[in-house]
Amino acid sequence: MNETRTVAFVASERDRACPFDPSPDLRRMREKDGLPRVRVLHPVLGEVEAAVVTRYDDVRAAFAHPRLVTGNGIDPDQPRTLYNQPGFLLAYSGAEHARLRGMLTRSFTVRQVERLLPTMEAIIEDHLDAMEQQGPGVDLVEAFALPIPSLAICELLEVPYATRSMFQRCSQVIMSGTADAGQVIAASAELHAAMADVVARHRAAPGDGVLGTVVRQHGDELTDEELIGFGITLLAGGHETTATQLALSVLALLRHPGQLAALRDDPGVTATAVEELLRHLAIPAPVLRTATADVEINGQPVAEGEYVLLSALTANRDPALVPRDPDDLDLRRRPVTQLSFGFGVHQCLGQQLARMELKAALPALLRRFPTLRLAVPESELRFRTGSTVYGVEALPVAW
């Protein structure tokens, strides 16, 4: 692997023969002992060398390592972007991260997110009705996969849904992995301005959603900038990820009609199916880690100051995690501790919300359109490879 690729691309590169499987390069890295170093392009750091961690035990150990950090707080001398915004959780480590994250965790427990379920079910039904009225030949990303999580996060943050095209566009730029620094700064500024209004509203009259709750419980301990950062992080992190997982799950199911039928016809399969789709597709490319001291990842040295990339994709397909047919999609597989939501202190805050949305949306879609199929040859689909989340740009379907 000689050419320079983006961080996201290296950690979740796919096989040309199958859009879900790890590339032969990544598989080879997992087979070899040691941690290979590759040159990667980072939107803020430029071209850097990073150690790539591909085996399950190693990736999990690296995610949990206290000296492999995602960030060291906010740098006031650097331009303000989402990645350098007070309140952006992935920018922090240690006690400061724990303090900030602790203010949000109670809003994202299973119990809390289940309260949103009836609203979500109504939103899902409305969108299925609209698809039915529109007739066969819709882009599933635009008609279903993107609006469902976008509406959920707007509902939680009490952000007007009318702003969705702005925040979807800005989040895409920020997470693209390929936008230059100027584009990331401009998109972050646009999101910041919109969220500043929302925060001002909650300061004056806190609502019942996540931000209102944080203002009521911790308003005195937080600056407006930190509240704005919370809002932007959740808005950006809360829709594109789940939307991508939803659309890619449908594509994977269309390629496996037997599995699709199981999820459509047997409600008992839903929970294991969602876990398996998360494991199998492994959409996120976690942010780069930096070693703050000389460390070892299961005995392999990484020097202080080195960058480390963690591949959830190869980890989730490692026979050490799944001894039987790790590359197969098996919706009845007993769930394992897969790493698609990361692991350790930064493990995805919104994972229960994502699971709830996927469990509600996928079976509802398949039951409403039991004859769902791709409306174009698969070779015409365009995949988002360099982005922070791997996904499909559009998914034309018919029924």
Contact 340, 278 (CB under 8 A): yes
Give the interface segment with ligand HEM, choosing from 122-130, 238-246, 248-256, 294-302 (CB under 6 A): 238-246
Q: Please provide the distance, in angstroms rounded to a whole number, between the alpha carbons at the two ends of the chain.
A: 42
Which residue has the CB atom at the shortest distance from ligand HEM? 350
Provide the β-strand partners of residue 15.
18
Give the interface segment with ligand HEM, choosing from 27-35, 127-135, 201-209, 279-287 (CB under 6 A): 279-287
**What's the half-sphere exposure (Cβ side, CA atoms, 13 Å) at 389?**
27
Residues 6 or more apart whose Cβ sits within 8 Å of residue 323: none
**Minimum distance between the CB of residue 153 and ligand HEM, rounded to whole angstroms?**
6
**Minimum distance between the CB of residue 283 and ligand HEM, rounded to whole angstroms?**
5
Other CB atoms within 10 Å distance of the CB of residue 112: 16
Going by C-alpha positions, the residue among 184, 163, 189, 185 that lies closest to residue 173 is 184
Residues 6 or more apart whose Cβ sits within 8 Å of residue 29: 36, 52, 54, 314
SS3 (DSSP) at 69: strand
Give the interface segment with ligand HEM, choosing from 5-13, 241-249, 254-262, 317-325 (CB under 6 A): 241-249
**Minimum distance between the CB of residue 350 and ligand HEM, rounded to whole angstroms?**
2
Residues 6 or more apart whose Cβ sits within 8 Å of residue 314: 22, 26, 27, 29, 30, 54, 55, 59
CB under 8 A, 24+ apart: contacts of 74-78: 78/44
Contact characters 119-158, ligand HEM, x per CB under 6 A: ----------------------------------x-----
**Minimum distance between the CB of residue 152 and ligand HEM, rounded to whole angstroms?**
8
**Minimum distance between the CB of residue 149 and ligand HEM, rounded to whole angstroms?**
6
Using rule CB under 6 A, residue 283 touches ligand HEM: yes
Q: Give 225 or 261: the residue with its C-beta nearer to ligand HEM.
A: 225
**Minimum distance between the CB of residue 92 and ligand HEM, rounded to whole angstroms?**
7
Using rule CB under 6 A, residue 346 touches ligand HEM: yes
Residue of 177, 209, 342, 386 interacting with ligand HEM (CB under 6 A): 342
What does the binding site for ligand HEM look like in residue numbers (CB under 6 A)?
70, 89-90, 101, 153, 233-234, 237-238, 241-242, 245, 283-284, 286-287, 340-342, 346, 348-350, 353-354
